[in-house]
Amino acid sequence: MYCRNGMMQAEAIKLDEYRRPYLTLFNITSQALEALRKKNYGEAELLLVRAQQEAEDVFISEVEDENQMPENNEDNTQK
């Protein structure tokens, strides 16, 4: 099944997995751009590093949450 923009539904679901990390990067990058406009280069650098770290943390936590789901947990497989 196709979504409005022509993507397959499965592709749209896969993109949704990246929503929180993307929004994290976008929001903090916007703050870094504002710091650059004010010529506050040190703050911009710190914000960009923070954006990388927070987006990675969000992505890892979502992967860990997904692996904790019963259908993905090897302890719950029938033998």
- Does residue 52 form part of some domain? yes
Q: Is residue 8 classed as helix, strand or coil in its secondary structure?
A: strand
* CB-count burial class (<10 Å; 0-12, 13-18, 19+) for 52: middle
Asked if residue 6 belongs to a domain, the reply is no
pTM of the model: 0.64
CA 70 to chain centre: 23
The domain of 33 spans: 20-63
Render pLDDT for 16-69 as a digit per residue (tens, 0 to 9). 678 889 999 999 999 999 999 999 999 999 999 999 999 999 988 887 777 776
Asked, for residue 73, whether it belongs to a domain, the answer is no
Rounded distance between C-alpha atoms, residue 48 and residue 30, angstroms:
10
53 in any annotated domain? yes
Name the domain count of the chain.
1
DSSP classification of residue 44: H
User: Per-residue pLDDT tens for 10-27?
Assistant: 665 566 678 889 999 999
| 72 within domain boundaries | no
